[in-house]
Amino acid sequence: MASHGKLLTKAFMMAALPLALGSAFAQEAPKLTNDEKAAAKKIYFERCAGCHGVLRKGATGKNLEPHWTKKLPDGQTQEGGTLKLGASRLEKIISYGTEGGMVNFDDILSKEEIALMAKYIQTTPDVPPEFSFKDTMDSWKEIIPVAQRPTKQMNNFNLKNMFSVTLRDTGEVALIDGDTKEIRSIVKTGYAVHISRLSKSGRYVYVIGRDGRLSLIDLWMEKPAVVAELKVGFDARSVDTSKFKGFDDKYAIAGSYWPPQYVIMEGETLKPLKVVSTRGMTVDGEYHPEPRVASIVSSEIKPEWVVNIKETGQILLVDYSDIKNLKTTTIESAKFLHDGGWDASKRYFLVAANASNKIAAVDTKTGKLAALIDTAKIPHPGRGANFVHPKFGPVWATGHLGADVVTLISTPSDDPKHSKYKEYNWKVVQEMKHVPGNLFVKTHPKSQHFWADAPQNPDKDLAESVAVWDMADLSKPKAVLNVAKDSGLPPTKATKRAVHPEYSADGKEVWISLWGGKTDQSAIVVYDDATLKVKKVITDPKMITPTGKFNVYNTQHDIY
Region 11-19: mean pLDDT is: 36
Neighbours of 203 (CB within 10 A): 19
Counting residues of the chain whose pLDDT is more than 90, the rounded percentage is 77
Whether 557 is a known active-site residue: answer no
* Neighbour-count burial of 156, counting CB atoms closer than 10 A to its CB (0-12 exposed, 13-18 middle, 19+ buried): exposed
* Neighbour-count burial of 191, counting CB atoms closer than 10 A to its CB (0-12 exposed, 13-18 middle, 19+ buried): middle
pLDDT above 70 for 35: yes
pLDDT above 50 for 167: yes
Dist. CA 217–CA 525, nearest whole Å = 25
Whether 162 is a known active-site residue: answer no
Structure confidence at residue 27 as a pLDDT band (50, 70, 90):
low
Region 356-362: mean pLDDT is: 98
What is residue 15's predicted lDDT score, i.e. its pLDDT? 37
* Of 51, 117, 162, 543, catalytic: 51
- Name the nearest CA neighbour of 444 among 523, 524, 526, 344: 344
Q: At what angle do helices 111-120 and 88-96 cross, to 10 degrees?
A: 120
Dist. CA 193–CA 196, nearest whole Å = 8
pLDDT (tens digit per residue) in 391-414: 999 999 999 999 999 999 999 999
Whether 338 is a known active-site residue: answer yes
pLDDT above 80 for 107: no
* Of 102, 265, 432, 543, catalytic: 102
Region 75-97: mean pLDDT is: 62
pLDDT above 80 for 23: no
pTM of the prediction?
0.86
- Given a contact cutoff of 8 angstroms between Cβ atoms, the answer to whether 102 and 110 are in contact is no
**Partners of 332 in beta bridges:** 314
What is residue 9's predicted lDDT score, i.e. its pLDDT? 40
Whether 265 is a known active-site residue: answer no
pLDDT above 90 for 1: no
| Helix (H) / strand (E) containing 452 | strand 449-453
What is residue 22's predicted lDDT score, i.e. its pLDDT? 38
Instruction: Please compute, for residue 418, the number of CA atoms within 13 A of its CA located in the half-sphere on the CB side.
Output: 19
Whether 389 is a known active-site residue: answer no
pLDDT above 60 for 4: no
pLDDT (tens digit per residue) in 463-500: 999 999 999 999 999 999 999 999 999 998 889 999 99
Report whether the peptide linkage leading into residue 125 is cis, meaning its omega lies within 30 degrees of zero: no
What residues have CB less than 8 Å from 451, skipping those under 6 apart?
441, 442, 443, 466, 467, 468, 501, 510
Rg over alpha carbons for the chain, rounded to the nearest Å, is 23
Pairing of strands 385-389, 368-374: unpaired
- For the chain, helix, strand, coil in percent to 5 are 20, 35, 45
Of 254 and 76, the one with more pLDDT: 254
Of 8 and 544, the one with more pLDDT: 544
- 295-304, 330-339, 539-548, range with the lowest pLDDT: 539-548
Report in angstroms the alpha-carbon separations of 341 from 101, 147, 311, 431, 558.
21, 35, 19, 19, 8
**Partners of 205 in beta bridges:** 198, 217
What is residue 49's predicted lDDT score, i.e. its pLDDT? 86
Region 99-107: mean pLDDT is: 75
* Of 194, 265, 288, 338, catalytic: 338
For the chain, residues classed under CATH 1.10.760.10 are 2-120
CA dihedral for 195, 200, 202, 204, sign (positive or negative): negative
Q: Order of strands, edge to edge, in the sheet holding 261-266?
A: 235-241, 251-258, 261-266, 272-277
Structure confidence at residue 45 as a pLDDT band (50, 70, 90):
confident
* Of 117, 162, 265, 380, catalytic: 380
pLDDT (tens digit per residue) in 282-302: 999 999 999 999 999 999 999
Dist. CA 225–CA 244, nearest whole Å = 26
- Given a contact cutoff of 8 angstroms between Cβ atoms, the answer to whether 97 and 114 are in contact is no
Neighbours of 115 (CB within 10 A): 18
* Of 1, 4, 14, 52, catalytic: 52
**Reduced to 3 states, what is the DSSP secondary structure of residue 419?**
helix
- CATH homologous superfamily for 2-120? Cytochrome c-like domain (1.10.760.10)
Whether 449 is a known active-site residue: answer no
Structure confidence at residue 85 as a pLDDT band (50, 70, 90):
very low
Region 75-91: mean pLDDT is: 54
What is residue 102's predicted lDDT score, i.e. its pLDDT? 80
What is residue 128's predicted lDDT score, i.e. its pLDDT? 87
pLDDT (tens digit per residue) in 447-472: 999 999 999 999 999 999 999 999 99
Q: Compute the C-alpha angle 446/450/453, nearest 5°.
A: 135
Structure confidence at residue 517 as a pLDDT band (50, 70, 90):
confident
